[in-house]
């Protein structure tokens, strides 16, 4: 495996963990989204990652060829683009409807949706096309770019085709019901996720009509009502990660999980150690190792917690 660095044992609360340095990503430019990456450049959130780096990490850390990439906190979909680049099915969950639509578009839209884009909207339009239209509007907002419609269509033509069976649910990923419909394989799943590191996450600021349209798209697509991330309870980083792993277990999915972690304060002291302990105590997953990469924010080192679940 590439990038072997120092192997050390550190004490983290009650447990000892194997920690090693890992150089992916190695520089801030690698960590950030690439503004030239087709499809991924359509819209990014303030803490989106780099799709090609994620793809490399998945291949590097998965023990076998993954049958599906899962991201329970998929935001604006860097991991969805990574799965598309790899030609692997993607299953994502995102509680914010605007971001869920962005991820859905990155996961499911192909050239045929581009061809339909100029058509006047119709109430029977499929969710992918509605997501693409929403994206055109989001382009003018925070996280959007300056892409012309021609550039969007060119991305759809040159990006790898959407992988059949890929999908994104809008809802709480710690609720097993949100995974039960997805028909996930029992093994060889790879979860790659960047959960909210800090408690102040509130989704992109977009005008209310666009948020309402996003809510309508996801509720039509899933028939699950109209989620709005802004009304839900706020939970800490460790609760979310443990909850998502428990939800995966309850629908009998097994594989490797790679969970990003940056230091943050939720009153638990050394949160990385707390997370490892909670995973071991409250789930059937094993923390295999902790990989430390670079310092990409003011809060300290980005670590990747690798589990078998
Ligand atoms: C750090 S961001 C993910 C960024 C993402 N990797 C990207 O490419 O944009 C974490 C995401 O988790 C979402 N989230 C928070 N709580 C959630 C929950 N209970 N279920 C599903 N998603 C949740 C947030 O709305 C946010 O978009």
What are the tens digits of pLDDT across the range 263-279? 886 666 689 999 999 99
- Does residue 116 register a pLDDT over 80? yes
Domains of the chain (ranges, CATH numbers)? 31-267 (3.40.50)
Counting atoms of ligand 1 from 1, which one is nearest the CA of 174?
19
CA distance 132 to 117: 7
Q: pLDDT tens digits, residue range 291-308?
A: 999 999 988 899 999 999
Please report which helix (H) or strand (E) contains residue 250, including its range.
helix 237-250
pLDDT at 166: 95
Closest CA to 243 of 227, 231, 259: 259
Residue 193's pLDDT band, with cuts at 50, 70 and 90, is very high
Residue 203's pLDDT band, with cuts at 50, 70 and 90, is confident
User: 169 vs 147, which has greater pLDDT?
Assistant: 169
In terms of C-beta density within 10 A (0-12 exposed, 13-18 middle, 19 or more buried), how is residue 220 classed? middle
Residue 235's pLDDT band, with cuts at 50, 70 and 90, is confident
CA distance 51 to 31: 9
Residue 145's pLDDT band, with cuts at 50, 70 and 90, is confident
The tokens describing 270, both together, are: 């050394």
Q: Is the CB of 152 under 6 A from ligand 1?
A: no
> Ligand 1: which residue has its CA nearest to atom 18?
172
Query: pLDDT above 90 covers what percent of the chain?
Result: 71
Segment among 11-20, 125-134, 159-168, 172-181 with least mean pLDDT: 11-20
Kindly give the pairing relationship between strand 15-21 and strand 7-12. Answer: antiparallel
The tokens describing 101, both together, are: 């639509």
CA distance 52 to 24: 10
Q: Which residues contact 63 (CB under 8 A, 6 or more apart)?
A: 256
pLDDT at 16: 59
Choosing from 55, 58, 73, 245 the residue with most ligand 1 atoms within 8 A of its CB, the one to mutate for a pocket test is: 73
What is 53-117 written as a DSSP string? HHHHHHHHH-SS--SEEEETT-TT-HHHHHHHHHT-EEEEEESSHHHHHHHHHHHH--HHHHHHT
pLDDT at 89: 97
Choosing from 95, 170, 240, 258 the residue with most ligand 1 atoms within 8 A of its CB, the one to mutate for a pocket test is: 95
Residue 149's pLDDT band, with cuts at 50, 70 and 90, is confident
- Does residue 244 register a pLDDT over 70? yes
> Buried b vs exposed e over 119-129: b needs ≥16 C-beta within 10 Å?
eeeeeebebbb
> Ligand 1: which residue has its CA nearest to atom 13?
73
Q: pLDDT tens digits, residue range 34-79?
A: 999 999 999 999 889 999 999 999 999 999 999 999 999 999 999 9
Counting atoms of ligand 1 from 1, which one is nearest the CA of 71?
6
Average pLDDT of the residues of the chain: 88
């Amino acid at each position: 495996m590439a990038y072997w660095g120092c192997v050390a044992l550190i004490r983290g609360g009650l447990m000892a963990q194997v920690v090693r340095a890992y150089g992916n990503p190695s520089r801030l430019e690698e960590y950030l989204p690439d503004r030239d990456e087709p499809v991924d450049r359509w819209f990014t959130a303030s803490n989106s990652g780099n799709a090609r780096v994620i793809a490399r990490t998945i291949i590097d850390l998965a023990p076998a060829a993954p049958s599906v990439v899962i991201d329970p906190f998929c935001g604006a979909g860097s991991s969805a683009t990574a799965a598309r680049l790899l030609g692997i099915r993607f299953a994502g969950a995102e509680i914010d409807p605007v971001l869920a639509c962005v991820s859905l578009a990155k996961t499911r839209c192909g050239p045929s949706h581009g061809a339909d884009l100029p058509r006047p909207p119709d109430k029977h339009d499929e969710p992918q096309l509605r997501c693409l239209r929403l994206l055109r509007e989001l382009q003018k907002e925070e996280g959007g770019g300056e892409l012309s419609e021609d550039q969007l269509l060119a991305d759809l033509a040159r990006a790898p085709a959407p992988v059949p069976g890929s999908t994104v649910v809008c809802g709480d990923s710690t609720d097993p019901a949100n995974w039960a419909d997805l028909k996930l394989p029992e093994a060889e799943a790879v979860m790659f996720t960047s959960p909210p590191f800090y408690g102040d996450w509130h989704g992109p600021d977009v005008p209310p009509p666009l948020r309402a349209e996003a809510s309508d798209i996801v509720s039509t697509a899933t028939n699950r009502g109209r989620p709005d991330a802004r009304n839900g309870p706020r939970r800490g980083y460790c609760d979310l990660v443990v909850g998502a792993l428990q939800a995966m277990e309850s629908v009998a999915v097994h594989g490797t999980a790679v969970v990003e972690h940056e230091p943050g304060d939720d009153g638990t002291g050394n949160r990385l150690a707390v997370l490892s302990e909670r995973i071991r105590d409250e789930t059937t997953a094993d923390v295999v190792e902790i990989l430390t990469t670079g310092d990409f924010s003011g809060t300290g080192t980005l670590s990747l917690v690798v589990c078998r679940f």
